[in-house]
Amino acid sequence: MSETLTSFPNREPVLFAGIMATLLLGSAFAFQLAGYPPCELCWWQRYPYMAVMAVSLIATGMKSLPRKWVLVLLALLFATDAGIAAFHFGVEQRWWEGLATCSSYVDVTDSVDDALKAIMDAPLIRCDEIAWSLFGISMAGYNFLIALGMTAFCALKAKDA
């Protein structure tokens, strides 16, 4: 069974890319549910993963699509995510300035008055503040490393396809 698990990425690289994107996006939402609301750049990093999931799902269902070009597209999407994550990491490290606007996190409420009050009282989620880190690396830093690795994986698989 372990041989099956280790050979899966080599046999089904498009599906593997989609699964990785799903796991990473799921992790981001899990952090959000755990009390780490996303900033604007965090949201931007989610969009390429959503696109990877869609491309992977479509390409897995349509075996007639040329695998090489699907993998090239996936590599470009992961590279886009890595670029956004690198920019975000640089903002967190104060190597350069971030966005002119930051986002707020508002819980959905039932009434308009409650919604307006929630918007006015919502905390400002800054892109240059590190909400969580492990071994001195923030979520944006880990996202950069994983997205860069997936970029290389998809590019190498495209070369072999």
Residue 47 is predicted with a pLDDT of 96
The confidence score (pLDDT) of residue 143 equals 92
Q: Are strands 103-104 and 124-125 parallel, antiparallel or unpaired?
A: antiparallel
Decide: 65 and 15 in contact? Cβ < 8 Å.
no
pLDDT of residue 89: 86
> Tokens 């040329």 correspond to what residue?
66
Q: What's the pLDDT at 100?
A: 64
Q: What is the dihedral of CA 13, 18, 24, 26, to 10 degrees?
A: -150
Backbone angles phi, psi at 156, to 5 degrees: -65, -40
Please check the confidence at residue 81 and state whether its pLDDT lies above 80: yes
Percent helix, strand, coil in the chain, to 5, is 70, 5, 25
The domain made up of 2-99+127-160 is a member of CATH 1.10.3470: no
Reading the block at residue 65, the tokens are 């699509």
Q: What are phi and psi of 104, to 5 degrees?
A: -120, 155
Contact of 77 with 44, CB cutoff 8 Å? no
Angle among Cα 92, 94, 98 to the nearest 5 degrees reads 70
pLDDT digits (tens, 9 = 90+) for 3-15: 555 675 667 899 9
- Quick one: how far is CA 121 from the chain centroid? 28
Arithmetic mean of pLDDT, 94-113: 65
Q: Which residues are within 8 A (CB) of 115 and not within 5 positions of it... i.e. 6 or more apart?
A: 106, 108, 109
pLDDT for res 25: 94
How many angstroms from the chain centroid is the CA of residue 124? 21
* pLDDT at site 1: 46
pLDDT score of 101: 62
Mean pLDDT of 10-23: 91
Residue 105's pLDDT is 52
Tell me the per-residue pLDDT of 111-159, one tens digit each, with 9 for 90 and over.
667 666 665 566 667 666 767 667 877 888 899 999 999 999 999 999 8
